Amino acid sequence: MIIRIDHPDISGNEKTYLTTASTVGASTLTVQNIEGFYKGEFLVLGKLGEEQTELVRIKSDLTPTGSTITLNAVTLFAHPINTPVTYIPFNRVVLYSSSSKNGTYTQVGSSVAIEVDQDFTEINHTTGATTTWYKTRFYNSEV
């Protein structure tokens, strides 16, 4: 059974925009404002749910300075000027299941990376049924 997990709303999170286009393989982002962004945080580069949006992480040992955010890894896609860069407090989701609403929930497989180029992340629960109850938890695997 495929379980589709909707992503939480991040529209109220800290946000800035690219002031310089980003190429494939970029290791830094030039943005309007770095205020409110800190080393090691995850960012959605693009609009959550849109094609070629990607999850990036600010370099864990380098605080953003001036108008530059240095990334932990290079980008997978090119992004034009004015692409939104939004803080997201998590990078993974885990699914739990139970045979009853108030029963004991156990973890279904391993956690999975959230799919920011969609509005949801899917997890295949091979032993799930229409009567199975589910809970989810989003978390930051780097904390």
* 61 occurs within a structural domain: no
25 has pLDDT over 90: yes
Segment 93-128, tens digit of pLDDT: 999 999 999 999 999 999 999 999 999 999 999 999
Cβ neighbours around 110 below 10 Å, total: 9
**Based on the structure, what is the number of domains in the chain?**
1
Cβ neighbours around 140 below 10 Å, total: 14
* 95 occurs within a structural domain: yes
Q: pTM, whole model, 2 decimals?
A: 0.91
- Confidence at residue 110, expressed as pLDDT on a 0 to 100 scale: 94
Segment 36-70, tens digit of pLDDT: 999 999 999 999 999 999 999 999 999 999 999 99
Q: What is the mean pLDDT of the chain?
A: 96
Distance CA 96, CA 48 (A): 24
* Domain extent at residue 109: 2-6+91-139
Rounded percentage of the chain residues whose pLDDT exceeds 90: 97
* 130 occurs within a structural domain: yes
* 80 occurs within a structural domain: no
Closest CA to 112 of 90, 97, 128, 86: 90
